[in-house]
């Protein structure tokens, strides 16, 4: 295959990895953010956390692979992105670390105050990346001020507050509200009783807010920042129609279909953003736009991309089969009565519960 074909393949594969991340980690963040909304006591919070126990760490693999693929396939993009967005990405990384620690440490003691503190940590550390990923993607699509790097590539001419512009913050609110709705739909699918009822109600309420925010952000992006308006419009319509289906299925209590359409919406959102961006990967918003990074000037060599393609062809199906099997094994609904009570000497270990 030619270098140009390989570059096109790898920007598509990176988009697919982000789709997987938004689908899987999206409901993960949403559940964590809603922990104190849908669960009113410790038993219910243990139940909510247990729905994530078998899968949360596997969901984060998609982020690691997306970052690794970006580093290997488009090193100039990776270097500019991770150096320019350093503080924002550091905040996300710290939140992910705290979140993982909170899941594990919450069950180590039966003290109510101990669990309460870690529950707050789960909520905050889920909310922060759900918001900041939207801010980051919005700024990538909009473009950021850059200048040519004498050593090659481009340099970001801004700071954290440069990213906190109205468009970027709107993007953050969109991902936050979408993930919260996605998480509520997941909880309605995975639980029974009062948690299921509350989750269904919350999904409908936040889903409407997400719809308004997403339409505003989508139209702004479509008319102001799309490089491929016809293609991006198709994906925008797919995302909007799918979200309407989410709200309709949630309203009639068809949680399985609501989750499917919510996942389709995540695919549509990521596809929309990448369609608007292509062939850029890091547009320069300054004038003249002479420091923009594209898939052509930011990619690795033909040999590197060829080797990576063969590795992806072999390993990707294995990862997909394993994760599908995990979700199948832990597919049953949960209720508080099924979760061990730490007050009676059994600490909640969500990663060991198979129910």
Residue written as tokens 């909310």? 127
Task: State the residue range of the domain holding 43.
Answer: 3-146+162-326
Contact between residue 55 and residue 28 where contact means Cβ atoms under 8 Å apart? yes
Gap between the Cα atoms of 282 and 276, Å rounded: 12
The interaxial angle of helices 194-224 and 255-277, nearest 10 deg, is 20
Would 336 be classed as within a structural domain? no
Name the burial class of residue 102, with classes exposed (0-12), middle (13-18) and buried (19+) by CB atoms within 10 angstroms of its CB: buried
- The answer to whether 125 and 167 have CB atoms below 8 angstroms apart is no
Q: What pLDDT shows up at residue 152?
A: 63
331, exposed or middle or buried, with CB in 10 Å at 0-12, 13-18, 19+?
Answer: exposed
CB-based contact 127:96 (threshold 8 Å): no
In a domain, 156, yes or no: no
CATH code of 295's domain? 1.20.1630.10
- The answer to whether position 331 is within a domain reads no
Q: With cut-offs at 50, 70 and 90, classify the pLDDT of residue 347.
A: very low
pLDDT bucket at 355, cuts 50 / 70 / 90? very low
- Burial class of residue 166 (count of CB atoms within 10 Å of its CB; 0-12, 13-18, 19+): exposed
CA distance 185 to 27: 8
Beta bridge partners of 148: 154
**147-156, 257-266, 343-352: the lowest-pLDDT one:** 343-352
Q: Is residue 311 part of a domain?
A: yes
103 in any annotated domain: yes
Query: For all residues of the chain together, what is the average pLDDT?
Result: 90
Helices (H), the chain: 3-33, 35-38, 42-52, 56-59, 61-73, 75-84, 86-105, 112-142, 160-163, 166-190, 194-224, 229-251, 255-277, 302-329
If you ran DSSP here, which 8-state letter would residue 146 be given? Answer: E
Structure confidence by residue, pLDDT tens digits, 82-97: 888 889 999 999 999 9
Asked if residue 265 belongs to a domain, the reply is yes
> Which residues, including other chains, have CB under 8 Å from residue 230's CB and lie 6 or more apart?
none
- The answer to whether residues 51 and 31 touch, using CB atoms and an 8 Å cutoff, is yes
DSSP letter for each residue of 218-276: HHHHHHHT-SSHHHHHHHHHHHHHHHHHHHHHHHTT-HHHHHHHHHHHHHHHHHHHHHH
Query: Is 263 domain-assigned?
Result: yes
The model's pLDDT over 186-241, given as tens digits with 9 standing for 90+, comes to 999 999 999 999 999 999 999 999 999 999 999 999 999 999 999 999 999 999 99
pLDDT surpassing 80 at residue 316 = yes
Q: Which of 203, 195, 188, 323 is nearest to 265 (CA)?
A: 203
- Separation between Cα atoms, residue 16 and residue 267, nearest integer Å: 8
Q: Residue 126 falls within a domain, yes or no?
A: yes
Q: Which of 20-34, 245-259, 310-324 has the lowest mean pLDDT?
A: 310-324
Our count of domains for the chain comes to 1
């Amino acid at each position: 295959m030619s270098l140009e074909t390989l570059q096109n393949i790898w920007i598509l594969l990176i988009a697919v990895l982000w789709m997987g991340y938004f689908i899987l980690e999206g409901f993960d963040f949403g559940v964590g953010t809603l922990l104190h909304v849908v669960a009113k006591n410790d038993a219910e919070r243990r139940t909510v956390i247990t729905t994530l126990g078998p899968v949360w760490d596997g969901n984060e693999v998609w982020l690691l692979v997306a970052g690794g693929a970006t580093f290997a396939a488009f090193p100039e993009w990776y270097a500019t992105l991770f150096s320019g967005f350093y503080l924002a990405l550091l905040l996300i990384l710290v939140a992910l670390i705290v979140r993982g620690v909170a899941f594990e440490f919450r069950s180590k003691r039966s003290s109510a105050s101990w669990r309460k503190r870690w529950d707050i940590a789960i909520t905050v550390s889920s909310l922060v990346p759900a918001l900041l990923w939207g801010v980051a993607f919005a700024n990538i699509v909009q473009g950021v001020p850059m200048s040519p790097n004498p050593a090659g590539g481009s340099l970001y001419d801004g700071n954290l507050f440069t990213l906190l512009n109205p468009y970027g913050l709107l993007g953050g609110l969109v991902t936050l509200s979408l993930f919260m709705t996605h998480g509520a739909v997941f909880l309605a699918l995975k639980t029974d009783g009062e948690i299921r009822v509350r989750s269904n109600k919350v999904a409908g309420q936040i889903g409407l807010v997400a719809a308004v925010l997403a339409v505003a952000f989508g139209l702004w992006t479509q008319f102001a920042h799309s490089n491929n308006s016809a293609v991006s419009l198709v994906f925008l319509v797919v995302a909007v129609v799918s979200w309407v289906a989410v709200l309709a299925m949630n309203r009639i209590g068809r949680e399985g279909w609501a989750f499917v359409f919510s996942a389709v919406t995540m695919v549509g959102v990521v596809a929309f953003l990448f369609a608007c961006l292509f062939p850029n990967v890091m547009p320069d918003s300054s004038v003249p736009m002479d420091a923009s990074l594209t898939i052509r000037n930011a990619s690795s060599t033909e040999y590197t991309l060829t080797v990576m393609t063969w590795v992806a062809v072999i390993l990707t199906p294995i990862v997909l089969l394993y994760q599908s099997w995990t979700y199948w094994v832990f597919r049953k609904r949960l209720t508080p009565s099924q979760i061990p009570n730490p007050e009676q000497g059994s600490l909640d270990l969500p990663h060991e519960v198979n129910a």
